[in-house]
Amino acid sequence: MADQQYVLSIDQGTTSSRAMVFDHGGAVVGVGQKEHEQIFPRAGWVEHDPAEIWANVQEVVQAALADAGIDVGRLAAVGITNQRETTVVWSRTTGEPVHNAIVWQDTRTAAIVEALGGEAGQDRYKDRIGLPLATYFCGPKVQWILDNVDGARARAESGELVMGTMDTWLIWNLTGGVDGGVHVTDVTNASRTMLMDLRTLTWDEEIAADMTIPTSMLPEIRSSAEVYGEARGVLDGVPIAGILGDQQAATFGQACFEKGMAKNTYGTGNFMLMNTGEEPIFSDNGLITTVCYKIGDAAPVYALEGSIAVTGSLVQWLRDNMGMISAADEIEAVAGTVEDNGGAYFVPAFSGLFAPYWRSDARGVLVGLTRYVNRGHIARAVLEATAYQTREVLDAMEADSGVEVVELRVDG
């Protein structure tokens, strides 16, 4: 039908940006995807170039529309999902970032996190925000930029600088940037900043002050499904009508709409989420409490989450850093050359350990090595590391929820 309308989804991920066009029946009719550079300035630091990501998003949108054989006028709406804690600080007057985006895997804020905890420790704010103090989350990343980029603090205090996760950066640019760009985020991404009160869904000014972050930098918090603004440029005239952090989007896409339903995503890291309903459950077993989604004016739905920093990226490390495989999909065959791991075990704490330990000071170890261990055993230990970490998170989730997980929906 010539008048059929479509929906575009932008997925801005850790390693690539992707756009997909869906028809009214939910079928994918067009795709565009492009990887961006992973920047490692020093040990423990991980960055992305926000300008490169913005350029790539525009490119993949055009590629997806071309693949679908439609023009922008056939789009009813666009939704955005994104890597969550990766943080950008930029000028509202020039549109230029003051520093590369600091990625969720980055550990440079360890000293800031320790100082914030003080005598109270890493759970100082947990009863308000659902999160432990950890290098994973946004707030300390913003503080680091303000403390370490020349002139940034003064510019932030004057109201020039703003911050956001990747959804905020993209929407600001899509809606005009310096010419009236909309500065918003949704509750799922805001819940990853360490700055949002989980119950009120508003910024906690006391925590922002503790992190020396001017509240003028923070985007407006909105629901996950409403019209935030109208795009210009590559998506001219299309309403931007949905935002979900990537793992919440996977939970929603897996139709985990009932309390107790859970999913696990296998990607750069692993992220297991369980829908806990309209009341937040605060973990006693090393999980985090997060907003799962909020549809318009409806009540928010919460989730328990077990976040694992390194799973698929361990396979990439074996390929890129060690040269033991030439393509990621080779690892299965190499691991299949042995019957077991030969006593070798991998703890891939490249970004510290996330759930359920939250140890920013942890580092990766490969143990149990003997002359018997070969390439196949190490490949198998890499794959088993994902399974062992997943099991730990699953056990913690059952302990916190009091519910046995009888079905786990998976994607990746």
Strand 239-245 to 270-277 pairing:
unpaired
Question: What share of the chain in percent tops pLDDT 70?
Answer: 99
Whether 6-248 and 257-411 share one fold: the answer is yes
The single-letter code of the amino acid at 3 is D
Residue 411 has pLDDT above 70, yes or no: yes
Average pLDDT over residues 89-102: 97
Q: Which CATH architecture has domain 257-411?
A: 2-Layer Sandwich (3.30)
Asked whether 189 and 168 are in contact (CB, 8 A), the reply is: yes
The pLDDT of residue 260:
87
Q: Provide the 10 A C-beta neighbour count for residue 42.
A: 6
End-to-end CA distance of the chain: 33
Average pLDDT over residues 223-228: 96
Cα 103–Cα 388–Cα 410 angle in degrees, nearest 5: 70
CATH of 6-248 given 3.30.70.2390, 3.40.50.1370, 3.90.1010.20, 3.30.420.40:
3.30.420.40
- What tens digit of pLDDT does each residue of 283-327 get? 999 999 999 999 999 999 999 999 898 999 999 999 999 999 999
Cα 190–Cα 191–Cα 196 angle in degrees, nearest 5: 80
Average pLDDT over residues 252-280: 91
- What tens digit of pLDDT does each residue of 5-20 get? 999 999 999 989 999 9
Residue 1 has pLDDT above 60, yes or no: no
The larger pLDDT score, comparing residue 407 to residue 113, is at 113
CB contact burial 236-261 (16+ within 10 A = b; e otherwise):
eebbbbbbbbbbbbbbbebebeeebb
The pLDDT of residue 106:
93
What integer best gives the mean pLDDT of the chain?
94
Residue 166 has pLDDT above 70, yes or no: yes
The pLDDT of residue 2:
54
- What tens digit of pLDDT does each residue of 356-380 get? 998 888 999 999 999 999 999 999 9
The single-letter code of the amino acid at 179 is D
Q: Where are the domains of the chain?
A: 6-248, 257-411
List beta partners, residue 9: 20, 79
Residue in the structure block whose two tokens are 């370490």: 148
SS (H, E, C) the chain: CCCCCEEEEEEECCCEEEEEEECCCCCEEEEEEEECCCECCCCCCCEECHHHHHHHHHHHHHHHHHHHCCCHHHEEEEEEEECCCCEEEEECCCCCECCCEECCCCCCCHHHHHHHHHHHCCCCCHHHHCCCCCCCCHHHHHHHHHHHCCCHHHHHHCCCEEEEEHHHHHHHHHCCCCCCCCCEEEHHHHCCCCCEECCCCEECHHHHHHCCCCHHHCCEEECCEEEEEECCHHHCCCEEEEEEEHHHHHHHHCCCCCCCCEEEEECCCEEEEEEEECCCCCCCCCCEEEEEECCCCCCCEEEEEEEECCCHHHHHHHHHCCCCCCCHHHHHHHHCCCCCCCCCEEECCECEECCCCCECCCCCEEECCCCCCCHHHHHHHHHHHHHHHHHHHHHHHHHHHCCCCCCEEEEC
The single-letter code of the amino acid at 405 is V
Strand 408-411 to 161-165 pairing:
unpaired
The pLDDT of residue 267:
86
- What tens digit of pLDDT does each residue of 30-48 get? 999 999 999 999 988 999 9
378 Cβ contact list (under 8 Å, min separation 6): 318, 324, 344, 346, 366
The single-letter code of the amino acid at 132 is P
